Structure 1
Amino acid sequence: MTTLENDDLRVTIRPKGAELTSIFHKSSGIEHLWQADPTVWGWHAPNLFPVVGGCLNNQLLIDGKTYPIERHGFTRQSTFETTESTQTHAIFSLRSSEATREHFPYEFEFQIIYEIEGPKLTVTYRVVNEDEQTIYFSVGAHPAFAVPFKAGEAYEEYFIEFEEAEPLETHMLSSGGYFTGETKAVPTVDGNRLPLTKHLFDADALVFKNLASRRVTIQSEKHDHSLSVEYSAFPYLGIWAKPGASFVCIEPWLGCADSEGEPKPIQEKEAIQQLAVGKVFDAAFTITIR
């Protein structure tokens, strides 16, 4: 386990999946990360690579061949190497191997970089193309934040505030987790507040593909303590909780699940990223507690 610490935060990350396991805010004494109750949802904050969401038939189609791939990819189950660690900064690395090539035939290094400064945690995804051809991938985050923040509070006292007042339209998912092509309006309060309820996610995640907002904030009606996620590099945003659970996931994505129909080659998948030979890809998001 790796620990980062300053006057405001104590953050822990485990080697499996290079996954955050704690974001503790010192002055308030609040643990902001869901503690992975296995009877409800046994993850804290999985990192998603080389796919986001589900692929049709649980397969990737690359250069005419199919490769088995699980929902959200294999890195959340992979053990990362810690290549750098200071009091406030750590780098975790996963390199291509015989095991990864069974699912994703490219040569790569996938780094996850964590850094704290004051009450802000920055998470950077870095992909290095070590292949002799262009590689294609998706990447995303899935952190689950504990709600309510304090004992004695109710989940329904909380809301998500979007940076911009804008109409919210979610892209509907089938029971298998694939996009159906349908959309649905999501009601808000004052144009930018999404009230949290235990039934908000009964039909699966809310998936937004065209937001103007580049920041969302989890807030309470009863006090000013808040947690913001800023995701300027990520065009898609998922918001999800297991119905009835005491958390909400704020999920910046560069990629998304497949749509129902016929599988497409990886380079034709929606929101797929491509990286030329020898190039490096970076995308970061931040979590700030106030």
Structure 2
Amino acid sequence: MITLKNDYLTVKINEVGAELTSVVDAESQAEYMWQGSSKSWNRHAPILFPIVGRLQDDTFTYDGQEYHMGQHGFARDHTFEIETVSDTLVTLKLASSTETREKYPFDFVLRVTFELKDHVLSVQDQVTNTSTGEMLFSLGGHPGFNVPFDEPTADFTDYQVTVSPRQVYTTLPLKGASVDVANEGTLDLNQPLKLDHELFDQDAKILKLNEVETTVMLSSTVNDHGVALTVQNAPYLGIWSAYPNTGNFVCIEPWWGIADPVGHNGELKDKLGMRRLAANETESFTYQVSYF
């Protein structure tokens, strides 16, 4: 386990999955990150790579060959190498291997950098294509936050989600594990979204951000605690909590990719939201979380 620390926060990151597991406030000792539960969701903040969401039948085809991969890809289950580390910054690395090529036919290096500055934790995921040809991939963040953070008498319904810009967002519903792009909806976020477990009875709320800088704030209505996640250029963002096996957490998920659409033909090259990266090129994906 890696520990980053300053005067305000103590952050813990697991080399397995390069997963953020804990953010504790120095003054109050409040734990902001969901600590996991086998009854609802047993992760904390997995990295979604090289896909976001689920493939139809957990299968895709590329260059005439069929591959099998579980939901959200495999990076979250692999041990990363520590490349650099200090009191407030760490970079971890995962490179392609014989094992990853059985599921995904590209060579890559995935670097994840966490940097702590005052009350803000910045997360940068950097993908380098080390293949000889074009690489297809998706990537996403999936941090889960405690709701409530530290109030023993507070309830899930004492929290709300505020999205800026405040506007009516286009939403993408899920049909099973597939995105139903033919039946887009809307969600009016001109006002805060009051939390209730029933909000997630149809799975995640998926917003189309259209790569506009967006801040999503999760805050309490009974005190001043909260978190605010800002992402500059993500096409999608998921807001999710487990249902019907509920847990006291909410995930705010910036996505550069999305699950297979209903009726997708299975070809990776035709998959919605895939990134395309030329040989020896690098692309970076960044978001910041402010804890208050």
Q: TM-score, normalised by structure 1?
A: 0.95
1:155 aligned partner, one-letter code: F
Structure 1 residue 187, shift from structure 2 partner: 4.9
Structure 1 residue 262, shift from structure 2 partner: 3.4
SS of match in other structure, 1:239:
strand
The farther-off stretch of 260-269 and 121-130 is 260-269
Is residue 220 of structure 1 aligned with residue 213 of structure 2? no
1:203 is matched with 202
Check whether the contact 2:59–2:266 (CA below 8 A) recurs between aligned residues: no
Cα distance in 2 for residues equivalent to 1:286 and 1:266: 30
SS of match in other structure, 1:200:
helix
Structure 1 residue 28, shift from structure 2 partner: 2.7
SS of match in other structure, 2:152:
coil
2:205 aligned partner, one-letter code: L
Check whether the contact 1:52–1:253 (CA below 8 A) recurs between aligned residues: yes
1:193 is matched with 192
Structure 1, unaligned runs of 5 or more: none
2:171 is matched with 170
Check whether the contact 1:164–1:192 (CA below 8 A) recurs between aligned residues: no
Cα distance in 2 for residues equivalent to 1:262 and 1:228: 34
Deviations 1:72-117 (A, max 9, x none): 0011111111111111111111100000000111111011111100
Structure 1 residue 213, shift from structure 2 partner: 5.8
Deviations 1:243-280 (A, max 9, x none): 33200000000000011113242232211111111111
Structure 2, unaligned runs of 5 or more: none
Is residue 247 of structure 1 aligned with residue 249 of structure 2? yes
The farther-off stretch of 169-178 and 16-25 is 169-178
Specify which of 267, 270, 274 is matched with residue 268 of structure 1. Answer: 270
The farther-off stretch of 264-273 and 75-84 is 264-273
Q: CA RMSD in A?
A: 1.4
Structure 1 residue 160, shift from structure 2 partner: 0.5
The farther-off stretch of 135-144 and 260-269 is 260-269
Cα distance in 2 for residues equivalent to 1:196 and 1:262: 33
2:77 is matched with 77
Check whether the contact 2:56–2:178 (CA below 8 A) recurs between aligned residues: no
Cα distance in 1 for residues equivalent to 2:16 and 2:56: 26
Q: TM-score, normalised by structure 2?
A: 0.94
Structure 1 residue 180, shift from structure 2 partner: 5.2
| Number of aligned residue pairs | 288
Is residue 41 of structure 1 aligned with residue 41 of structure 2? yes
Structure 1 residue 46, shift from structure 2 partner: 0.7
1:245 aligned partner, one-letter code: G
Cα distance 1:74–1:31, how it changes in 2: closer, same or farther (>3 A)? same
Runs of 4+ off more than 6 Å: none
The farther-off stretch of 132-141 and 191-200 is 191-200
Specify which of 256, 259, 263 is matched with residue 258 of structure 2. Answer: 256
Cα distance in 2 for residues equivalent to 1:42 and 1:171: 25
